[in-house]
Amino acid sequence: MKGNFLPITREEMKERGWDQVDFVYVSGDAYVDHPSFGHAIITRLLESRGYRVGIIAQPDWRKPESVQVFGEPRLGFLVSAGNMDSMVNHYSVSKKRRKTDAYTPGGEMGKRPDYACVVYGNLIRQTYKKTPIILGGIEASLRRMAHYDYWSDKLKRSVLLDSGADVISYGMGEHSIVELAEALDAGIPVEDITYIAGTVVKAKSLDSIYDAEILPSFEDLKADKMNYARSFYTQYLNTDAFNGKRLVEPYSDHLYVVQNPPAAPLTQMEMDDVYSLPYQRTYHPSYEAKGGVPAIKEIKFSLISNRGCFGGCSFCALTFHQGRIVQVRSHESLIEEAKEITKDKDFKGYIHDVGGPTANFRHPSCKKQMEHGVCKTRQCLFPSPCKNLDADHRDYVSLLRKLRDIPKVKKVFIRSGIRFDYLLADKKQEFLRELCEYHVSGQLKVAPEHVAGPVLSLMGKPEHKVYEEFTRQFYKMNERIGKEQYLVPYLMSSHPGSTLKEAVELAEYCRDLGYMPEQVQDFYPTPSTLSTCMYYTGVDPRTMQKVYVPKSPHEKAMQRALIQYRNPELYDLVIEALHKAGRSDLIGFGPKCLVRPRQMRGSGNDKKTGRNEPKKGSRGSNGQKRQNNSEYRGRVEGKNKKKSIRNVHSKKNRK
C-alpha cells in the first residue's frame, strides 16, 4: 500500500483487507490525490461515507482486462475523462494533435482515448453487462444532452446513450454521487434511480414524468439548426438549482434522455468538509520514475477559495458545469490548508493563487439568489452591473490579509481571473490597492478579450470603455503606492461576430498600446457554451438573430495574424487581411500604419517578406519612435525559453 493513497491495484486492495471494492473509479487522468482533481474529491468523499473505492487511472482502452483490475465492484463503476474534455486535451483549436498531456506522468501524450467517456463506458460494458456505470466530470457534464461536436463537425447524441452508461452525475457532483451511492447500497436497481437532482437518466416512456419541459427530438435537432439553438437556450435557462426545470430530450417513442434539475449548491460547511478530506496533495508515488504529473506544478501551492461564476462569458462552460451561484470556503478552512502547504518540503514561501473560476467572487452576486436562484434571462454584470449586485471585496481582502500573516508565507499571488468590471463596481477601491500592493508580481493578466462592441456584446463582456477605466485606475493606484507594474491583456480572435473589420479594430488597439501578444487564443468551440451554439447555428440563441461566424482556417489565420502584425512571418497574411477589409490605408509609413508596403528586393529589404526592418534605436514598424520611459520590457515563458513582451500604455491611461 502506497502511503494513504487509495488502492490502484488488486494487491493494494487486499493489503487493506478488502475482498471487493464498492466502486471502481476509472479516470482519463493520472491519479493525483489533490482537491483540484475531480477524481480525488469524489473518491475521498465516498471514502468518508464508508465506501471502498479503487482507482484505475488511464487504463489501456484497447484491452478489456485493463478495467478488470479489481474485478466487479459491489455497487458500480464511476467513469470520467479527467479534468478536461478529452478532445480539448488532445487537439488544438486548429485540430492538430498536441504533443504533451499535463495530466499524464511525464507529460506523455496518448494515454487516454478520444471521446474517453464513450470509450471507457463501452469497454466496461463488454465485460460487465449489468454493473451500473455512472459518468461524471467535465466531459460527461457538458455532453449530457445532444451537443455540437467541433472535432467531427456534427451534432452528437447525449453521451449517456453512446457510452452504454446508466446515469450521468453532472456538475460538480458531490451531492448527487452520495445520493446515488446510498440508493445503490439500499438495493434500488439503477434503472429505477431516476429522481436525483444533478443527474441525467434514460427512460422508456414519459408515463411517470409529469413535470418536465419537452425539448425538440434529436431528429428535429439534426433537421434544423434553429431547433438546436432554441433547445440549447432552454437548457441554458435551466441551469439553476432553485428554478431549473426537468428537461426531456426524445430520441424515439421508446427512448428519452431526462435531465433532472441541478443539484443544490454546497453550503460553506459542505465546502469546508469537501476540502478537509485526507488528500495526499500530490501524485501517486508510482509515477515518480517518469518525473511525476506536470499538472501538479500549477496547483500544488494554490488554494481554491470558491466555485461557480456569475460572470456569464458566452464562450465559457461554467454556467453549465458549476453554475452561476458562487460557493465559498470559510477563512478557517483556507488558513488551515495554507498552513499545511507551508509544511511541504518544496514550499518556498509563495502561495501561487487564492481563487477559483473568478478570484474576486467571494459570495453570491445578490442576496436573492440563495432563496429564488439566479435571474433566468438577466446577467449580473452584462451589459452593465445589475442594480442589485453586491459588489463588496471586504471578505476577500480580509482573507488575503490573514493568509499573508501566516508564518513562512512570503507572498500571496492572485493568478485566477479577475473580473475588472466587478472590481470597478466596488467603489471603495480597497481591494484594488491590496491587489497592486501585495498580490501582483510585476504584471497582472486580465481578459478584456476584444475591443469591438459587436464582438464584446456576443461574448457577454463589458464595453471596452470599462476596461479602459480599469486600466486608468490600475496605473493610478500603482503610481500612488510607488510601484511599476503592468497589465497583460488576454485577447481572442475569430469569436462569432468578428469580421475582418473587428479584427482590424483589435489590431489597431494593439498598435496604440504598443503591445504584440506572443500568443493569441483563437475561439475554441467546446461543448455546451453559448458561443459554440452561435458557431454551429449561425444565430445568437438568446435573440435568434443572425451572427457572422469566421469558420475557414484561412480567415481565422488572418484574424489571428492581424493581432500579431509585427511578426515578420505573418506579413503576407496581414497584407491580405488589410486589403480584404478595405483597410489598405494601414499599409504604409505613417504613424498609424500597421505594416510597410512590399518593396522590390535588393534595396535592403528583408528577403523573406520584402519588408523594411527597423534598425536598433530607429522607429518601429508602425512609424512611432520607441519611448524608453513608457514601454515595459517584461519576461514571459515561451516553449523552452523566456521571450520579451512590450506593454506600452498611453499617458491618458496613467492619469
Task: Please report, in range form, the residues annotated as the binding site for [4Fe-4S] cluster.
Answer: 309, 313, 316
Distance, CA of 27 to CA of 79 (rounded, Å): 6
Rounded Cα distance, 450 and 462, in Å = 10
User: Cell 473589420 sits at which residue?
Assistant: 501
The continuous run of DSSP H or E covering 375 comes out as none
Of 209, 208, 117, give the one whose Cα is nearest residue 163.
117
Q: Name the binding residues.
A: 309, 313, 316
Q: Which long-range contacts (CB under 8 A, 24 or more apart) does 578-585 make?
A: 578/504, 580/500, 581/499, 581/500, 581/501, 581/503, 581/504, 583/504
d(CA 498, CA 109): 33
d(CA 462, CA 385): 9
What 3-state class would DSSP assign to 104? coil
Q: Show the 3-state SS of 392-447.
A: CCHHHHHHHHHHHCCCCCCEECCCCCCCHHHHHHCCCCHHHHHHHHHCCECEEEEE
136-87-495 Cα angle (round to 5): 110
DSSP 85: -
Is residue 180 within 8 A of residue 170, CB to CB? The reply is: no
**Within 10 A of 165 (CB to CB), how many other CB atoms are there?**
30
What does the alpha-carbon distance between residue 111 and residue 114 come to, in Å, rounded to a whole number?
A: 10
Q: Using CA atoms, how far apart are residues 83 and 18, in angstroms rounded to an integer?
A: 29
Name the 3-class secondary structure at 234: helix
Q: Is 106 helix (H, G, I), strand (E, B) or coil?
A: helix
Question: In 3D, which of 265, 402, 382, 401 has the Cα closest to residue 313?
Answer: 382
